[in-house]
Amino acid sequence: MKEKKLQNCGKCGLCLNACPVYKILKEEQVSPRAKLHLIKAHDQNTIASSAFLKEIISKCLMCGSCSAVCPSGIDHYSKFMEMRRKMGEAHGEAPAIKSLIYLLAREYRTGFGAGLARTGQKLVPAGLAKKFKLGNIPIKNFPELNPVPFRKAHDEVIFPKGKPAGRVIYFTGCATNYLYEDTGDAVIGILTHMGYEVVIPKTQTCCSIPLLFHGAKDRAMENITANIKALRDIEAEAVLVDCSTCGEALKNEYPRLFEPHDEHLVAAQDIALRVTDIISFINLHFDLLQFDPDITGKIPVTYHAPCHTRNTFSSHLTVEKILQAMPSVDYRQTPDSDQCCGGGGTFFYEYPEVSKKMVDKKIESAKAVEVSHWLTDCPVCRMNLAGNTEKKDGLTVLHPVTLIHAALKQI
Amino acid sequence: MLNTEVKTELIQIVGAAGYLDRPEELACYSYDAFVEEALPDAVIFPKTTDEVSKILKTAGRYKIPVTGRGAGTSVCGAPIPVRHGIVLCFSKMDKIIEVNTRDRYIIVQPGVVNADIQKALSPFGFFYPPDPGSMNSSTIGGNIAQNAGGPRCLKYGVTVDYVLGLEVVLASGDIIRFGSKNIKDVTGYKLSSLFSGSEGTLGIITEAILKVLPKPEAVKTLMVTFDDLDNTARAVTDIIGSGILPAAMELMDQLTLNAIEDSANLGLDRNAQGALLIEIDGVKEACDKEMKKIIEKLKENGAVHIQEAGSDIERDKLWTARRSAYGVFAKLAPDIVSEDVTVPVSKVPEMIRRIIEITERYGLRVGVLAHAGDGNMHPMIPADKGNIEEWQRVEKAFSEIFKAAADLDGTLSGEHGIGLAKSAYLPLVMNQSTINFMKKIKHAIDPDGILNPGKFV
């Protein structure tokens, strides 16, 4: 990674109240400002590398909320990722995290999910599930794997219905591919309804954000170059993601990973320019949606805004706008809809006590507005919210596209 | 690190989870938003007044320094433990105890964040006026200890004007309570004034009763540009002199204005030499009347462009632009120093001229930003602390700026406090007898000097 001469942190402390982890723990050492201080101290050899230092550094959701409020414009992401890499190398990862890195790194070459899916297993291999309590989420609440991985189940090119509007690439991400095919089906349904031809490149693979966050940069690079190759040569007006974290990777991280003269840099920058999240895209072409006039009644719905949706695409307000504009939805906002749920990649696994406090607060406020559906456009948030709600809470957690798709007129 | 005996005793008071002393942790309590650093020997998180009292008794017995800390957003080094010892961190003692808008007060623990007080009051149509720039993170204990201000303090006054009563633990461990829930209370010494701005040197605040106000029914906001910085400053003195008291009057020079325009793109005139952001609030009819008079005064002083915010969104946009100024300057160099010298409002034009003259002489860039209505200047100098020669020029320039403020009957700090940053300059604005008087008060309450030693007293 290119080490840029960056602004010094002025330690103003504005990041404290933006940081979801600080807000729960209220201890300076977990704050973004403290992490920068420790990274600097480690670089200057005044703080030694230790397993405890690794623990502090990884007590972070990588949500980007600190950078979003930082008046000095500090790039926390790059600094934290580089430090995570160093700490991972020096002190190793927990066995479960190691397995995850192994699986995601091999995703492109072996298609691990396909094999698992046929035997109807859950996301987490049985051995791991029995051995480790998976963070704050009871094992029984983890989603089932798709019967067939989404990309395998679909053609590479899907043609539009009605009047052609254009062509887009769909970067499905691992969650839609292996867990949440309902999201993928809705994305394709909406896009083809709007008149878009949808290209789902077969050679796309894990965006590799989980690998980068856990410092496995070398293993990530193989996936990343595979993705760039898969996306760069297809003519399309947009590269769409249904997961804002994949979007964050494609839009912000990929271009930062290459040296100025690297052959992949230009392609990465070109892809980054075309990346947008499905919600913003729907909003941009809202006039192409035809809602089914025969649907009567309104579904009571609330929304949880994922951190990367807020900080990378600022499309959380767009989701609310769309929901308010939909004839079949009664949108009820919670006062903390923009607060982090504590899912954060593998954070819910690594720091269950912190994560549990965060998600419980969210569930309380979702229950208070008395809705049947809780929408969120991040698969980890979905897993975390759904995994922590009880049956009696009566909350179905879905990606917003599923409800949008269900409200459309058949054409 | 503290010796085992003391450590054991302290852990018995707060529990193992409330006591930190690993090097990785201690490093994170060595700083605030000022440029100095010093390591504590231990960090303790009390949850109750009783615990604070016990901790101070133990610390007193072993003569261990105790420095209070909230969110560590002070810009003058107040919570930096320069004599090491214990950092007493109040971030977890953060309960709002009572909201009572009928009697116009709120009772809070010291770790409650200023913005959370606003959130708690908002549904009742009330607010707590002091609004320091750090209000989203800073805690009320720190706000009181530093007697914090903010833009709207022009009209509403600073923190001390809102402290009705306090509970304070003294160095001896004794718990004292003074003031009450009453807006009017002249029973005994006005001790809340003694502790507001005491910067943790006299006692540790463990609970506060604060006065709150109903939100004004109308707010009007103006952005005005001038082709001359002197005219800009004169417009401020003229408006204040005419008897109008706006809620806020923020002055920006050309450099600041352009920096804001670069980031916020408001369509401001980049050639303007000065700008004012003026806000008035109150009863609607009164606001209309005042607004007319303000516009008159602005025109008399050669205002080039006057723009009134037409909606809440436009108003937010203007304030966001104003608040972004610091950040924009922070990006011009690796580090930034912002001071808060204050002069009587009629001396604002002269003070601005002197700031510009001094910084030019030292070959430094300066952005002049001021809560001009109350004469509170915020000259911001972007520089590189790693460049020793440049940093010395910055220090010399500020030393001259402090002298210039004193010459103009001004003072060292309008809202940041003294801390480490300005201790050396106290004699500019106080005679030796006055400094001795403060020392006598300190010595009477804290004879062993365990509370925040190494600071201004």
Q: How far is the alpha carbon of A149 from chain B, nearest alpha carbon, in Å?
A: 44
Nearest to A13 among B29, B73, B111 (CB): B73
Q: Does residue A116 lie within any of the structural domains?
A: no
pLDDT digits (tens, 9 = 90+) for B217-271: 999 999 999 999 999 999 999 999 999 999 999 999 998 888 878 766 778 888 9
pLDDT above 90 for A198: yes
Please give the tally of structural domains in chain B.
Answer: 4
**Rounded Cα–Cα distance for residues B402 and B408 (Å):** 10
Q: Does residue B224 lie within any of the structural domains?
A: yes
**Mean pLDDT value of segment B374-378:** 94
pLDDT digits (tens, 9 = 90+) for A336-359: 898 899 887 778 777 888 888 889
Q: Could you tell me the CATH number of the domain that includes residue A344?
A: 3.40.50.1860
**Closest to A105 measured CA to CA, from A211, A14, A189, A32:** A211
Domain end (from B214, B235, B269): B214
Q: Which domain holds residue B84?
A: 4-89
Does B375 share its domain with B304? no
Strand pairing category for A196-199 and A166-171:
parallel
Please give the tally of structural domains in chain A.
Answer: 2
**pLDDT value at residue A118:** 44
More confident residue, A262 or A34: A34
Q: What is the dihedral of CA A71, A76, A78, A81, to 10 degrees?
A: 180
**pLDDT value at residue A132:** 45
Q: Which domain holds residue A396?
A: 290-406
Write out the two tokens for B280.
Answer: 């008035």
Contact A277, A247 (CB under 8 A): yes
Does B150 share its domain with B166? yes
- Any chain B CB within 8 A of the CB of A119? no
Q: Which neighbouring-strand residues pair with B382?
A: B336
Q: Hey, of A5, A8, A74, which one would you mutate to test binding to chain B, going by the most B CBs within 10 A of its CB? A: A8
Does B142 share its domain with B243? no
Q: Sign of the CA dihedral A160, A161, A166, A171?
A: negative
**Rounded Cα–Cα distance for residues A173 and A207 (Å):** 7
CA distances from A388 to A96, A359, B223, B440 (A): 20, 7, 49, 59
Domain end (from B306, B331, B356): B331
Does B66 share its domain with B162? no
**Rounded Cα–Cα distance for residues B247 and B186 (Å):** 28
Does B344 share its domain with B298? no
Q: Does residue A55 lie within any of the structural domains?
A: yes
The separation between CA A310 and the C-alpha centre of its own chain, rounded to angstroms, equals 11
Strand pairing category for A329-331 and A299-304:
parallel
Q: How far is the alpha carbon of B98 from chain A, nearest alpha carbon, in Å?
A: 21
**Closest to A66 measured CA to CA, from A76, A80, A78, A54:** A76
Q: Does residue A246 lie within any of the structural domains?
A: no
Which helix (DSSP H) or strand (DSSP E) does residue B262 occupy?
Answer: helix B254-264
Q: Name the phi and psi angles at B388, rounded to 5.
A: -60, -40
Does B185 share its domain with B228? no
**Rounded Cα–Cα distance for residues A302 and A329 (Å):** 10
Classify A370 as helix, strand or coil.
Answer: coil
- Any chain B CB within 8 A of the CB of A53? yes
Q: Does residue A396 lie within any of the structural domains?
A: yes
**pLDDT value at residue A116:** 47
Does B227 share its domain with B318? yes
**pLDDT value at residue A344:** 78
- Any chain B CB within 8 A of the CB of A152? no
Q: How far is the alpha carbon of A239 from chain B, nearest alpha carbon, in Å?
A: 28
Domain end (from A33, A55, A90): A90
Lowest mean pLDDT among A137-151, B286-300, B335-349: A137-151
Write out the two tokens for A315.
Answer: 């499309």
Q: Could you tell me the CATH number of the domain that includes residue B164?
A: 3.30.465.10
- Any chain B CB within 8 A of the CB of A50? yes
- Cα three-residue angle A174-A175-A177, rounded to 5 degrees: 60
Q: Does residue A9 lie within any of the structural domains?
A: no
Does B202 share its domain with B303? no
**pLDDT value at residue B431:** 96
Q: Does residue B119 lie within any of the structural domains?
A: yes
